[in-house]
Amino acid sequence: MNKAFNTKLAVLSLALTLGSGVVQAADTIKVGVLHSLSGTMAISETTLKDTVLMLVDEQNKKGGLLGKKLEAVVVDPASNWPLFAEKARELIEKEKVDVVFGGWTSVSRKSMLPVFEELNSILFYPVQYEGEESSKNVFYTGAAPNQQAIPAVDYLMDELGIERWVLAGTDYVYPRTTNKILEAYLKSKGVSDKDIMINYTPFGHSDWQSIVSDVKKFGSEGKKTAVVSTINGDANVPFYKELGAQGISSEDIPVVAFSVGEEELSGMDTSALVGHLAAWNYFMSVDTQANEEFVEAWHKFIKDDKRVTNDPMEASYIGFNMWVQAVTNAGTTDPEAVQDALIGVAVPNLSGGYSTMLPNHHITKPVLIGEIQDDGQFDIVWETKGLVAGDAWSDFLPESAKLFSSWSKPFSCGAFNVETKKCSGGN
């Protein structure tokens, strides 16, 4: 009898142990971190992983969220685009994360998107992109083309008198779509075909001699020329190095980059880059109290006062704080409730003012043009007077000009056609 009782007691003890483990697991809110820590995009994405870890740590020091601690779950898709989808599914189905912060390239986002839509989870995407998308499950805190590419071209045209244009990009969806929009925009401004040169190179491209030579020749034909660069990842290092080797200065042919920020510059010899430009919505050199506190917190967390901050870090910061506020407002991490609660949420950005999540799942942001300095920082030479609302669908592509996105009722549509009055697609 005692033996039977002891056996039952042991079983009960085991059940309680297992049960307590379940309760303990449920007492954490899991945050997925899906950034490349190896491969060609590690130069840019590793810092974003560290940024989310810092934000999770800070939130836990504030008491967590809904009375629970946040737990970061980090995976490495290794700059392998199909692997992004596999890792996203792993985070959602196996790790049971409540939200994911991840991606850099648009091809990585396109790879993940069907997974998030199928499993109805939430992705915060923190990098500038080509637009032409609005998904119920994705919140875009990086810039759309009207928040980066179009203002940059306007600056070059109006302030520097640029008449000839080299659209140089890495060969994937973001540069190709962005350049399609820019080509249409330039032609709407009266620029002829002969004054537009377009070139694409693969990820990790290293031999820039002939391409830079072609750019130099294109810029020597009597009209002020600029390069609009959507070159991504570590290919930027040899590109800028070759510009210097061929004696192309910012005064001769200025380059405005959409994917080169402080983090990328920290690994380069910037002596040949001084005067070239970048268009972002944030620079580390922004003079605000909020930015000063953010940089200080970053240096303390990373334990290195020489580490820089950059635009996608700010976009991660904005997205994370929007998610925290939406979860707090909804009182739950349930994806449907949080998706609804996110629309209209406004949080401070680091450049000044508040950024708001719009019904199209894009946010409001200022636009800044920065000039590269010899210390790897940017001198802000131009900025918009106010915040610019992100546009999911470009006004300069005929097929997109008739579309708009709103995930608020009664539309609940990522691509509402104003001509047919029908939803023409979810994203």
The model's pLDDT over 275-314, given as tens digits with 9 standing for 90+, comes to 999 999 999 999 999 999 999 999 999 999 999 999 999 9
Strand ordering across the sheet containing 196-201: 196-201, 164-170, 225-230, 255-257, 277-280, 368-372, 378-383
Q: Which of residues 191 and 11 earns the better pLDDT score?
A: 191
**Looking at residue 11, what is its pLDDT?**
39
Consecutive H or E run containing 45: helix 42-61
The owner of tokens 């000044």 is 352
- Measured CA to CA, the distance from residue 87 to residue 70 in angstroms comes to 20
Residue 8 has pLDDT above 50, yes or no: no
The amino acid at 365:
K
Alpha-carbon distances of 274 from 60, 94, 248, 255, 270, rounded to whole Å = 41, 47, 11, 10, 6
Tell whether the model's pLDDT for residue 321 goes beyond 50.
yes
Indicate the pLDDT class of residue 425, thresholds 50, 70 and 90. Answer: low
Comparing CA positions, the residue from 408, 311, 397 lying closest to residue 132 is 397
pLDDT of residue 306: 94
Residues 413, 246: Cα–Cα separation, whole Å: 50
The gap from C-alpha 398 to its chain's centroid, in whole angstroms, comes to: 26
pLDDT at 234 over 90: no
| Angstrom distance (rounded) from CA 90 to CA 6 | 40
Of 23-27, 186-190, 406-410, 413-417, give the lowest mean pLDDT range. Answer: 23-27
Question: Is the pLDDT at 378 greater than 60, yes or no?
Answer: yes
Confidence of residue 350 (pLDDT cuts 50, 70, 90): very high
26 pLDDT tier (thresholds 50, 70, 90): low
Mean pLDDT computed over 339-350: 98
Architecture of domain 24-144+288-366: 3-Layer(aba) Sandwich (3.40)
Tokens of 372: 């590269």
Q: pLDDT band at residue 199, thresholds of 50, 70 and 90?
A: very high
Question: Does residue 315 contact residue 349 with C-beta atoms inside 8 Å?
Answer: no
Of residues 23 and 363, more confidently modeled: 363
pLDDT at residue 17 is higher than 80: no
Question: Does residue 420 have a pLDDT over 90?
Answer: yes
DSSP string, 325-379: HHHHHHTS--HHHHHHHHTT-EEE-SSSSEEEB-TTSBBEE--EEEEE-TTS-EE
Which neighbouring-strand residues pair with 229? 168, 257
CATH of domain 147-280: 3.40.50.2300
| 24-144+288-366 and 147-280, same CATH topology | yes
Going by DSSP bridges, is the β-strand pair 164-170/138-140 parallel, antiparallel, or unpaired? unpaired
Q: Where are the domains of the chain?
A: 24-144+288-366, 147-280
Give the residue among 78, 99, 83 at the shortest CA–CA distance from 33: 99
pLDDT of residue 12: 39
Could you identify the residue written with the tokens 């330039």? 186
Using only C-alpha atoms, the chain has a radius of gyration, in whole angstroms, of: 23
Q: What is the pLDDT at residue 25?
A: 45
Burial class (CB in 10 A: 0-12, 13-18, 19+), 325: middle
411-421: average pLDDT? 94
Is the predicted pLDDT of residue 387 greater than 90, yes or no? yes
**Per-residue model confidence (pLDDT) at position 186:** 98
Q: Identify the burial level of 411 via C-beta atoms within 10 angstroms of its C-beta, where 0-12 means exposed, 13-18 middle and 19 or more buried.
A: middle
78, 38 contact by CB (below 8 A): yes
Q: What is the mean pLDDT of the chain?
A: 92
- Rounded-to-integer distance, Cα 218 and Cα 223, Å: 9
Rounded CA separation 145/148 (Å): 5
Residues 235, 205: contact at Cβ < 8 Å? yes
Q: What is the pLDDT of residues 31-56, one digit of tens each?
A: 999 999 999 899 889 999 999 999 99
Per-residue pLDDT tens for 245-264?
999 999 999 999 999 999 88
